[in-house]
Amino acid sequence: MISLKEKKILITGADGFLGRHLVANLQEKRGVQTEHLSLPTIDELDLRKWEDCKKAVLGQDIVIHLAAKVGGIGFNQQKPGELFYDNIMMGVQLMEASRQAGVKKFVAIGTVCAYPKYTPVPFREENLWDGYPEETNAPYGLAKKMLLVQSQAYRQQYGFNSIFLLPLNLYGSGDNFDAANSHVIAAIIKKVYDAKKNQKNHIELWGTGKATRGFLCVEDAAEGIILAAEKYDISEPVNLGSDLEISIKDLVELICKLMDFKGEIRWDANKPDGQPRRSIDISRAKKEFGFEAKTNFEDGLKKTIEWYQTICKSLF
């Protein structure tokens, strides 16, 4: 087990949703001092550029690569080229720069979108190469998946210690609620909040509601990543998540209930559902580094809703 307390740690994407929670965990639970953390923003270092990647990793012991261009189905449909290029260039160059700089450990964050479209549920890590990802997010999923290929190749050729984690869809306080590129839970909460605020008697949602998803609270995700950084030193991929599987229809109804919205839910079946089913096997993370999600899903949703409502009220 690695003690992170005295290590110099680079966290890319530290000012993002997951990054802020990861930094808080390192400081508050692991006692990592601010001076040991390198937290560059995109304005300071553009990781699509090789020279900036070299600057980022200089003198670092551990790299946790969270930075990514992400979004929901609509965003993936609009910008597949950007999502592929930006994500693959950041990851591939950063890992190579880390290897050249003698970084002791590289933690690569992948995505559940890397799994094949029709993966048997629950998704097991050994199924990762059994088919092509769901088309709407394949460019993003494949770009992140290449970090696994690189990680395993670098361990084989160079003995480079890199690991690859596959987190479920995240949610929680501090999520991105931008209508243009938010993920499903944040998007639904925003739609319901806006409908109540504007006294609308309905909300409109993409797809049929039949697709299923699993979710992981962002605080749990941060803990899982840190546990892996401390304890896991194998290049085999590891799922991070919970054993939850809920249909989008049931998710919407639960959020409406928690937000006391009694209006109509209208589904636009001409819009894509995305991957038909998504739920993961969580046994490897528990076995290899003792990770289990702690947050009850309904409790986590309530906390997220309360956070968003508080933020919205503070803006007026």
Q: Rounded to 10 degrees, what is the CA torsion of 85, 168, 121, 81?
A: -10
Q: Is 202 annotated as a binding residue?
A: no
| Contacts of residue 170, Cβ cutoff 8 Å, sequence gap at least 6 | 17, 18, 183, 215, 216, 217, 218, 221
Q: Is 309 exposed, middle or buried (0-12, 13-18, 19+ CB in 10 A)?
A: middle
Catalytic residue among 115, 132, 140, 232: 140
Element containing residue 236 per DSSP (H, E): none
Q: Is 168 annotated as a binding residue?
A: yes
Q: Is 167 annotated as a binding residue?
A: yes
Strands 9-12, 37-38: pairing kind:
parallel
Instruction: Name the residue among 113, 193, 116, 110 with its Cα closest to residue 144.
Output: 110
Q: Is 14 annotated as a binding residue?
A: yes
CA separation for the pair 144, 86 (Å, rounded): 10
Q: Is 169 annotated as a binding residue?
A: yes
Q: Is 161 annotated as a binding residue?
A: no
Q: Do 292 and 223 meet the contact criterion of CB atoms below 8 Å apart?
A: no
Place of tokens 């991070």: 240
Instruction: Name the residue among 169, 146, 315, 148 with its Cα closest to residue 240.
Output: 169
Q: Is 43 annotated as a binding residue?
A: no
Q: Is 52 annotated as a binding residue?
A: no
Q: Is 15 annotated as a binding residue?
A: yes
Asked if 140 is an active-site residue, the reply is yes
Q: Is 206 annotated as a binding residue?
A: yes
**HSE-CB for 224 with a 13 A CA cutoff:** 33
Q: Is 170 annotated as a binding residue?
A: yes
- Token output for 285: 């993370």
Beta-sheet strands, E only, within 13-151? 37-38, 62-65, 105-109
Q: Is 18 annotated as a binding residue?
A: yes
- Annotated binding-site residues for NADP(+) read 13-19, 144, 167-170, 183
- Annotated binding-site residues read 13-19, 144, 167-170, 183, 191, 206, 213, 273
- Annotated binding-site residues for substrate read 191, 206, 213, 273
Residues annotated as catalytic are 140
